[in-house]
Structure 1
Amino acid sequence: MEVTEVSPKTGKRLFQYAMLYKKPILMAIALLVLAACTELAGPFIAKRMIDVHILGIEKKWHEVQGEQPYAVSYQGKWYKREDHFEPGEAKGAEVRVLQAGASYYWLEGSLAGEEGSRKVEGGQMTVTDPDTGSSSVYPVTQLTRSELFRFYEPEIPAIVRLGLLYLGLLLLVGAFTYGQQRLLQFSANRIVQQMRQDVFAHTQRLPVKYYDNLAAGQVVSRITNDTETIRELYVQVLAQFVNGIVYMVAVIGALFMLNTTLALIALPIVPILFLWVILYRKFAVGYNRIIRTKLSEINAMINESIQGMAIIQAFRRQKETMQEFDEMNDYHYKYQNKLLNLNSLTSHNLVNTIRNLIFALVVWLFWGDNLGAAVTVGLLYAFIDYMNRMFSPIVGIVNQLSTLETARVSAERVFRLMDEEGVEVAKGRIERYKGDVEFKDVSFAYKKDEYVLRKISFHASQGETVALVGHTGSGKSSILNLLFRFYDTNEGAILVDGKDVRDMPKQHLRQHMGIVLQDPFLFTGTIASNVSLDNPDISREKIVQALKDVGAYDMFMQLPNGIDEPVIEKGSTLSAGQRQLISFARALAYDPAILILDEATASIDTETEAVIQQALDVLKRGRTTFVIAHRLSTIRAADQILVLDRGEIVERGNHDELLEQRGKYYAMYQLQQGTILTA
C-alpha cells in the first residue's frame, strides 16, 4: 500500500495555486477580518448598555432646579445623574437609588461605602463591609415600579440607539460574511478547476508505461476525489483558520482594553492551541494517509469489477470479489474510526473543558473582589461573551484539523502524479512522411535486463506490407509499441524516412500513423464521432467514405439513427465485429502513412474479414502496413513476413519463400491448415 511522507513543498504549491486567484482570496480575507472586528464590537456595546444605562441607576444623583434633559421628577423635586452633568454645572444635594434583592430603594444623602452586602428591614438598609465586617444603617424608601421606571426613562433613548447600532453591526457582519464565503467558494472552485485541468492534461503527457503499474481507478481518484478534498482546504480550512486567528488576536486585544488581569488569564490559550495542533497532527497525519490511499485502492477495485462484471458472473466469482472488497472496506472503516476517536477526544469537548476551567478561575479570583480591582457586571459579561466568541473559532480550527491533514495528503498524491516525468504535447503539424521504416539492431526490455526483443533488424519500404507472426510472447506487439514510441528502445535505432524517431516529437510521429487493435476502444458518443474522434479536420464526407471503404456503411445505416447511432461506454451495445469495423474506419479516416493492424481481424467473422481484405488491397497502396496476425491465411499477400521466436527474427521472406524453407512458419501454416481441414 502506498503511504509516503507529505512533502514540505506541498504547502508551497498549494499556496502557488491560491495565488492564481489572489485578488478574490485577499478580498475574502479582508471581508472576514471586517466581519470579525465588527462582530467583536458587540460585547463593548453590551458592556456600556449594562454598566452605564442599566446598572448606572446606582450612580450618584443630584438635585437640580426644574425640568431639564436627563432630569427625573420625584416627590416634587428634580434629580439628575452625575454623569449627565456638564463640566462646571452646579450640583445640588446628593441622593441615591440602591438595589437590595429584587427591589430598589430611595436614599436621601450619600452612601459611606460603595461595596458591601445590603439588607432592608423596616425601612432601614444595612450595608455590611465585606473586608472589615462593620455595618452602616440608612433610612430608605422603597420605589414603586412607576417611580423606578422614571429613573430609567432618560436612558431608554440611549439603550434604543445602542440596540439599533448592534442590529446594524449584525447586518454588516451578515453582509461581510456572505461576501467572504461567496468569494472563497468562487476562488476554491476556480483553483480546483485549474488543478483538475492541469492533472488531466498531465495524464495525456505521461508515457503509456506509467499506466502499466497504476490502476485506472487510482488515477480517477486523484483527479476527482483528491482535488475535491483540496477544495475544502480553500473553503473551510482557510476560512476557519483566518477567522480563528483574527478572533483570537482581536479578543485578546479587546480584553487588554477591558482589564489587563482578565487578558493575562486568557493569554495562555494561544500556546495551548499551538501545542494542541502539533499533538493532533502527530497522530492524525498517519491515519489520513492510510485512509486516502485505501480509498484510492477501493475506487480502483470498483472500477475493475464493473469493467469485468461479465467475467465475474460467468465464473461465479461474486463471493470472492465481495470478500476482497469487504476486507478493503473494513480496513478503511478501521482507520476512519481511529480518526473519529481522535477527533472526538480533541474537539469541542476538550475546548469546553478548558473554557469552563478559565471561567472557574475568574470566578475564584474575583469572588469578593480578591484582587482589589473594580470588576463590574458589565465587564464580567463582556469577558464571558468574548471568551465564548474566541472559543467558537477555536473549536472550528480544531474540527478542521482533520480536513487540513486530509487535504495535505490528497494534495501530495495529486502533486506526485503531476511530478511524474511527461512529454510536452508538440503543437502544429508536419508534412506527411512517406512511411519508409527501418529497425537497426533494436533490443528492448520492459523491465531491466529482461529483454523481449533482441537485435531486431528489418526494412519496410513505402507501400510495403510487413506481417509479424509468432507464438504468444514472441515480441510482435512490442515491435509496434516501439514504432509508436509508447516505449523507447534500450539499444539500436528505429528510422522513419531515415530519421531517428527519438529525434521526432511523439505527437508529430503519430500524426501520420493509424492503428487498429485486437480489442478496439470506443468512446461515448456516436458511430460518426468515434470514427473522427471529433477532429474538425475530418469532414462528414470523409467519415462516410472511410466506413464505405471498410464495407461497414450499409451495415450501420440499417440502425435507427444510421451512423449517428449513440455509442455508450466502450460500445457495449455493438457486436465485436461492428466495434472493430469502426476502429478500422477511424484509422483510415486519418489517412495514415503507416497503418498498423494488431490482430485486427481476430474478432471478425470470416465474411466480414473478406470484405475488409478487399478494402485493404486498395488502401495499402502508397501506405506502409504492419500486420500482426495469428491466422496466417490473412497475410499470404504480405510483401514481408517476419517470424519471431523469443524476441528474435528467426525467419523472413514472403509466404511462398517461407513455405519453401519448411521452418517454423511452414509448421504453423500446416498446423492451421490441418485444423481447418479437421473442422
Structure 2
Amino acid sequence: MASTTGNAFDTRLFKRLISFTKPYRGTFYFVALSAILTAVVAIGMPYLIKVAIDDHIIPREFQGFMTVIGLMVAVLIADVLLQLSFIYYANWLGQQVIRDLRLKLFDHMLGFKMKYFDKSAVGKLVTRAVSDIETIASIFSQGLFVIISDLLKMIVVLGFMAFNSWRLTLIALIVMPFILYATRVFQKAMKKAFEDVRNQVSNLNSFVQERVTGMKIVQIFNREKIEYQRFKEINDKHRNAWVKTVWYNSIFFPIAEMASSITIGLIVYIGVIMNIGAEVSMVEIGTIVMFIDLSQKLFRPLRQIADKFNTLQMGMVAANRVFTILDTDSQIEDQGEKIAADLKGEIEFKNVDFGYVEDELVLKNLSFKVNAGETVAIVGATGAGKSTIINLLSRFYEINGGDILIDSASAKAYQLHSLRSQIAVVLQDVFLFADTILNNITLQDETISKEDVIIAAKKIGVHDFISSLPNGYDYNVKERGVMLSSGQRQLIAFLRAYVSNPSILILDEATSSIDAHSEQLIQEATEIITKGRTSIIIAHRLATIKKADKIIVMDAGQIVEMGNHSELLEKENGYYRNLYEVQFAQQEVA
C-alpha cells in the first residue's frame, strides 16, 4: 500500500516512484551525469577570477591574461550547454514517467467495480489522474535532479574551499548548522502544508465538477446563493492552505539570506584582519574574492534545496495519492477461462443474495430462470431490486451468495471481457460522450463500419431522425448528449446495443419526458432488437409487458409473482394486478 507515514521524506515511496524510470535508464544516467558535471564546472569561474586578480590584475602582469579570459568564456559555454541538457532531459524524463503512470492509473481504474465509483467523488478521481500526476512530473524536472545537482555543488565547493584555505572555510561553516536545522524544520512544516493544499485542491475540483454537472438542479431549486457561499468557504480553505506555505517560505528564505550575508561579511573581515600587520599576505585578495563567490555558491544551493524540496514534497504527496488508488484492490474477479462466444442466452439466478452495503441486502435468495430467446419483463415498485439484476448480470458487482448461470455455466467461469461483449445494456439514464453520433454508436469499434450502422438504423427506424440532424451521423452531441432530447438519446442507445449484436439484451425502457413520436419509435425499436435473442426488460410500458413471454414481479428484493400478463391479472388481490390497476390501466385507456 502507498505510504502514509509522517516522515519528512518517504524513502520507500520514492524508490517505488523511481522504478518507473527503468525504461529510460539511459536518459536517467545522462541527467545524473549532467548534474555531476554542472557541479564540477561551478568552481571553474571563481577560480579563474582568483587567478585573474592575483596573477594578472594586482601585479599588473597581463601576459596570459587573455588566456584566462578565454578559459572563462569556455567555462561559461560549458555551463550553459550542461544546464541546457540537464533541464531539457530532466523535464523529458518527468513527462515520460507521468505518461506511463497515468496510463497505468487509468487502466487500473477501468477495471474497478462499480461499488468503488459509487463511493468515490468524480472530481477527486479527476484530480488524481490529471493534476496530481502532473505534479509528480515536477519531482524530476524541478525536484530530484536539481537537489542532487545542488548537493554535489555544495560538496565540490566545500572541498575546493578547504583545499585553498581551511581558516576561511571554517568561517563559512560557522552558520551552516543553524541553516541545516532551519531547513529540516522547514521541510517538515512544508510537507504538512502541502498535504493540506492537495486535500483542498481535491475538494475544490470535486465541488466544481458536481455543481457544473448538476447546474440545472441548482437553478431549478434557486440554490445559486447557497452554492456560492459554500464555494466561497471551500475556496477560502484552499487559499488559506496556500497562504500557510507562503508564510513558511517568507520566514525561511530571509533567514537563509541573512546567514549568507553574515558569512560573506565574516570572510571579508577575517581575511582583512589576517593580512593587517603581516609582512606576507596570509590570504591573497583574489582568494578572498573567490571565497565570497564560493560562499554564495555554497549557500544559494542550500536555499534552493529547501525550495526544491518543497517541490519534491508536493510531488511525493501527489505520488502517495496516486499510488493509493493503484494499490486499491477493487477489481472484479476475472479468473474465468471460458470464452463467451455464440451464447444461447439461457440465464438462471440461483439463490442470489446481494447488497450494495454490507449487511443490507437488496436481493434476498433470488431465483428465476430465463430460457434462451425469451423476453422477460421485470416490474415492481422503485427500490424493488430491478436495476440491481441488470448490474449483477453484467458483473458490475460481486454477489454475496448464490450463483448466476449463463448457458448452464457460472458467470464467473467466463472471461469477463468476453462475457460483457455478449451482453448489451440500454440504461434509463443514457450516457453519451462529447463526440459524433457515429462514434457514440460504435464506441470506436473498428469492426463496426458506418454502413453497418446505417443498415441497423434503418431496421429499427431511427435513420431518418439521425439524417435530419446537421451533419447526420457526424453530428457532435456535446457533453453527455445535451444537444439531443432524452428520447433521441435513448434511440441512440438502442442503436448502440443493436449494432453490437449481443446474445443477451438488457433494457431499462423508461419513457419519462419523451414525446409520443419518440415513444413510438422506441417501442418499434424494442420489438426489433429483442426479436430472436434473450431479453430482460425493466418494463415501464404496458405494450412491452403484454408482449413479454414472462413477467417477474418484484418487491423488496424478492420475487412475489411470476407469469404472463393474462395469468397474473387473474390473481385476486395479486401484486401485479394491483400494480396494473394503479400504474398501467390508464396507459391501456389512452
Given the two structures, how large is their TM-score scaled by the length of structure 2?
A: 0.93
Q: 2: distance between equivalents of 1:494 and 1:271?
A: 69
- Which of 140, 158, 165 does residue 252 from structure 1 map onto? 158
Which of the residues 523, 540, 547 maps onto 1:630? 540
Q: Which has the higher contact order (CA 8 A, sep 6+)?
A: 2
Any conservation in 1 of the 2:144–2:312 contact (CA below 8 Å)?
A: no
Deviation at 1:379, TM superposition (A): 0.9
**Cα distance change, pair 615–49 in 1 and its aligned pair in 2 (3 A):** closer
1:336 aligns with 2:242: yes
1:33 to 36, 39, 46: 36
2:78 is aligned to: 172
What residue in structure 1 maps to residue 301 of structure 2? 393
Query: 1:357 aligned to 234, 246, 262, which one?
Result: 262
Q: Secondary structure at the match of 1:447?
A: coil
Question: CA–CA distance in 2 between the matches of 1:194 and 1:343?
Answer: 33
1:492 aligns with 2:402: yes
- What displacement does 1:400 show? 1.8
Cα displacement (A) at 1:243:
1.9
Instruction: Give the distance between the partners of 2:4 and 2:524, measured in 1 at CA.
Output: 56
Q: Which amino acid is the alignment partner of residue 646 of structure 1?
A: A
Deviation string 1:572-626 (CA, Å, 9 cap, x unpaired) is: 1111111110011000100111100023544543333333333433432331100
Measure, in 2, the Cα distance between the counterparts of 1:424 and 1:233.
35
Code of the residue aligned with 1:391 in structure 2: it is: F
Partner residue, 2:423: 513
Amino acid corresponding to residue 645 of structure 1 in structure 2: D
Higher helix share: 2
Aligned pairs for 1:619-658 (under 5 A) are: 619-658=529-568
CA distance in 2, matches of 1:273, 1:353: 10
Among 518, 522, 532, the alignment partner of 2:442 is 532
Deviations 1:502-527 (A, max 9, x none): 22232121010001011111112211
Structure-2 residue corresponding to 1:125 = none
Deviates more, 1:601-610 or 1:618-627: 601-610
SS of corresponding position for 1:514: strand
Report what 1:547 is aligned to.
457
- How far apart, in 1, do the equivalents of 2:459 and 2:531 lie? 13
- Residue 123 of structure 2: which of 197, 217, 230 is its match? 217
Residue equivalent to 1:316: 222
Percentage identity across aligned positions? 36
Alignment partner, residue 292 of structure 1: 198
Q: CA deviation at 1:399?
A: 1.4
Q: CA deviation at 1:468?
A: 1.0
Aligned to 1:148: none
Letter paired with 1:659: L
**1:273 and 1:588 mapped to 2: Cα distance?**
70
Aligned to 1:301: 207
Q: Distance in 1 between matches of 2:584 and 2:426?
A: 26
1:255-306 deviation per Cα after TM superposition (whole angstroms, max 9, x unaligned): 1121112223334666545433431232222221111011111111111111
1:67-466 to 2 correspondences below 5 Å: 152=60, 155-267=61-173, 271-347=177-253, 349-369=254-274, 374-421=282-329, 422-423=331-332, 430-466=340-376
Aligned to 1:11: 14
Alpha-carbon displacement from aligned partner over 1:358-378 (angstroms, at most 9, x marks no partner): 233334444432897711111
| Bigger Rg over Cα | 1
- 2:354 is matched by which residue type in structure 1? F
Among candidates 492, 495, 500, match of residue 590 of structure 1 = 500
Contact 2:343 2:503 in 1 (8 A): yes
Amino acid of the structure 1 residue aligned with 2:369: H
Superposed displacement of residue 231, structure 1: 0.8
Return 5+ residue gaps in structure 2 as ranges. none
1:383-428 Cα offsets, whole Å, 9 max, x none, are: 1010112222222111122222211111111111111113588999
What displacement does 1:212 show?
0.5
State the match for 1:142 in structure 2. Answer: none
Higher mean C-alpha deviation, range 390-399 or range 589-598? 390-399
In 1, the alpha carbon distance for the partners of 2:378 and 2:53 equals 95
Query: Distance in 2 between the 1:464 and 1:425 partners?
Result: 28
CA offsets 1:323-363 (integer angstroms, 9 cap, x no match): 1111111111112111110111112x111111122233334
In structure 1, the partner of 2:55 is 52
- Partner residue in 2 for 1:87: none
Q: Which stretch of the first structure deviates more once superposed, 604-613 or 399-408? A: 604-613
Check if 1:564 corresponds to 2:470.
no
Query: 2:582 corresponds to which residue?
Result: 671
Aligned residue among 386, 411, 414 for 1:504: 414
CA distance in structure 1 between the aligned counterparts of 2:565 and 2:585, rounded to whole angstroms:
17
> Does the CA-based 8 Å contact 1:188-1:234 persist in structure 2?
yes
Amino acid in structure 1 at the alignment position of 2:307: N
Cα-Cα RMSD = 2.2
What is the deviation of 1:434?
Answer: 1.1
Q: Is it true that 1:610 corresponds to 2:520 in the alignment?
A: yes
d(CA) in 2 for partners of 1:240 and 1:161?
Answer: 32
One-letter amino acid of the counterpart of residue 222, structure 2:
R
Task: Give the Cα separation in 2 of the matches to 1:635 and 1:605.
Answer: 20
Q: Does structure 1 residue 43 correspond to structure 2 residue 32?
A: no
1:20/1:191 contact within 8 Å kept: no
SS in 2 for 1:485: coil
Provide the TM-score with structure 1 as the length reference.
Answer: 0.82
Q: Measure how far apart 1:240 and its partner are.
A: 2.3
